[in-house]
Amino acid sequence: MEFMKRWMNTRVSQPFDVVVIGGGAAGMLAAGTAAARGMQVCLVEKQARPGRKLMITGKGRCNLTNDCDVQEFIASVPSNGRFLFSAASAFPPRDVMAFFENQGLPLKVERGNRVFPTSDRAVDVVDTLVRYMKRGGVEMLIGQAAKLLLEQGHVQGIELQDGACVLARNVLIACGGASYPGTGSTGDGYVLARQAGHTVVPLRPSLVPLVAKGTDCSEMMGLSLKNTAIRVLDTQKKKEVYSDFGEMLFTHFGVSGPMILSASAHMRDMAPGRYRIVIDLKPALRPEQLDARLQRDFEMNKNRDFINALSALLPRKMIPVLVRRSGILPETKCNQITREQRRAFVTLLKAYPVEISGFRPIEEAIVTSGGVSVKEVNPKTMESKRIKGLYFAGEVLDVDAYTGGFNLQIAFCTGRLAANSMQ
């Protein structure tokens, strides 16, 4: 009551058991879970509709988890994966799948154990979570948290930007990171965390397209490669940090696509010239097989110019770039190409290098790397070690994972653990 008297001149809501800041995956799951436990819950979301970022995940299909075990999940979280062991054990991917199916949302498993709604509609995932909250009686409030209300090391609620106060003995910060700000993820959680005395690990983009040196990529803009292999080399440490097989895309700034987004998560401490992506354009062929293929193509086109003899081997947009990189004059007749030139061209096709100069802006990233230091959060409860009753869940924490549904699994399991830990 003493605390409430201090705020007599402001609009004060009825006290809640729980206030959840952020209506994303972690926030909605947590709000519904706390309500199912019989708690009075208020969800504060600044967007008119919750789940805006969920709507665009998986190209609008929503890859909501990965059908794997806890150890595989932890291995797919390069930033502080072990911190998630308790959360993932309490609410593993199979339990997440069971939860949505029990809520009436049929699921399917695709390549790489990626889990999607059978409908291929992300909106169905959002609607399922909204119904879950409504059944529990969660009160949804449109507004933006401006600051935490704290007293003697305990959270007492939040103050909204309009000056209104929402009182609660538990507050969950689940308002996302700094990626896709148009969906509402504008870094608000980091401001609140710092107010509570928490350390925020510097932010950087993860699962993000990459900027390349030179003009090669822009010349091939729009070209999508499928069934291609890549290796990511750290030239500073002189080692391979990632390899993959799948799909990628050339853009006006560099490279993108599923393989590239996954690769970006392995690029720590980005610096111009540090990382090189090596593309195997013909992964199904060994060098000697590719050399034999070239010999046949050159024999069939022996009187044609080199640049005009590659249409059966390479996409049209790629030919001028590869010819230039080969050092063979475009007008060279195929029957004049030397054995050394041909073998050098084979090497180029098997190891086409793209020098990386940086990440695209964090606003274009799928997830944010960095955030609230996990050293200051109890991994068994998601409660702050600094402020009693303050919890964190989802992307606001310094944890991020590869593509494949792992980041939403982080959101769901940390949100569930936080809600189940509240008193």
Output the average pLDDT for the chain: 93
Domains of the chain in start order, with CATH, are 2-204+362-421 (3.50.50.60), 209-359 (no CATH)
> What is the tens place of the pLDDT at every residue in 148-179?
999 999 999 999 999 999 999 999 999 988 77
pLDDT at position 118, please?
98
Instruction: Let me know how long the chain is.
Output: 423
pLDDT for 305 equals 96
Whether 225 contacts 245, CB under 8 Å: no
Confidence band, pLDDT 50/70/90 cuts, at residue 180: low
Rounded to whole angstroms, how far apart are CA atoms 64 and 54?
Answer: 9
Partnered with residue 44 across adjacent β-strands are 21, 141
What tens digit of pLDDT does each residue of 364-391 get?
Answer: 888 888 999 999 999 999 999 999 999 9
Residue 186 clears pLDDT 80, i.e. is over it: no
- Paired with 115 in beta bridges are 65, 109
pLDDT for 28-65, tens place per residue?
999 999 999 999 999 999 988 899 989 988 889 999 99
> Residue 108's Cα: distance from chain center in Å?
21
Interval 278-320: pLDDT, tens:
999 999 999 999 999 999 999 999 999 999 999 999 999 999 9
> Quick one: tokens of 202?
């510097």
Beta strands 16-21 and 165-173, pairing class: parallel
- pLDDT tops 50 at residue 112: yes
Tokens encoding 416:
């569930």
Q: What is the DSSP letter of 15?
A: P
Residues 223-268 have pLDDT tens digits of 999 999 999 999 999 999 999 999 999 999 999 998 999 899 888 7
Whole-prediction pTM value? Answer: 0.86
The confidence score (pLDDT) of residue 363 equals 86
- Given phi > 0 = left and psi -120 to 50 = alpha, else beta, which region is 278? beta
Q: What is the per-residue pLDDT for 271?
A: 87
141 has a pLDDT exceeding 80 = yes
